[in-house]
Chain A
Amino acid sequence: DTEVTQTPKHLVMGMTNKKSLKCEQHMGHRAMYWYKQKAKKPPELMFVYSYEKLSINESVPSRFSPECPNSSLLNLHLHALQPEDSALYLCASSQGHLAGAGETQYFGPGTRLLVL
């Protein structure tokens, strides 16, 4: 299984809602990532988890809260979002064995989020 899955595919939420995005991989990877991609822009890194611990937070607002309950699962909890948070949210994973060195990252199909 060389796939990263993300649910839901689409999400519409109001600014007072609480919702969660889910990402799953069964490749035995120990590093997982959240990226945000605005329309016609490249992906931007938000968070990195390494061995279920948060290792990088790219100064993301606290209304985005990541969680890694186990090595296969990565969640992104959303609360009190703004319309400008509307974007494609991409999850990725990599082996996680090479600390500090580059590894091939495998991306999921993304969740398209619209905040009204």
Chain B
Amino acid sequence: KQEVTQIPAALSVPEGENLVLNCSFTDSAIYNLQWFRQDPGKGLTSLLLIQSSQREQTSGRLNASLDKSSGRSTLYIAASQPGDSATYLCATHYGGSQGNLIFGKGTKLSVKP
């Protein structure tokens, strides 16, 4: 059974710092990995999706990497801003059936002004 782990559970950084969020998964037989952002009490916003054949994806200040063989992904946020404060969730799309998205518990990020 696929398990997704995110470390750290919480992270507090000063504004302007570059930071890395980690995600690991136990079964490398994934179709893709998706990073989401969730603000308190809100839905999920898709940030980046990396297909299993890809190594990384970039969007603005965000860069996500995927090492399928080692079961790891990282989300790099450059020049962090207070508006980046949120919970970041990674999820693997796993298995042969549609919709089988397995989530990690998330990393709660706080960027201090």
Contacts and interface: CB of A to CB of B under 8 A. Distances in A.
B59 interface: no
Interface residues of A, number: 31
A100 interface: yes
A105 B34 CA distance: 9
Contact of A90 (B34, B44, B49, B97): B44
B98 A100 contact: yes
A100 to B, nearest CB: 5
**Interface of A, helix, strand, loop or mixed by DSSP:** strand
A101 B31 contact: yes
A93 to B, nearest CB: 10
Contacts of B101: 43, 45, 105
Contacts of A100: 96-98
B98 A43 contact: no
A92 B96 CA distance: 19
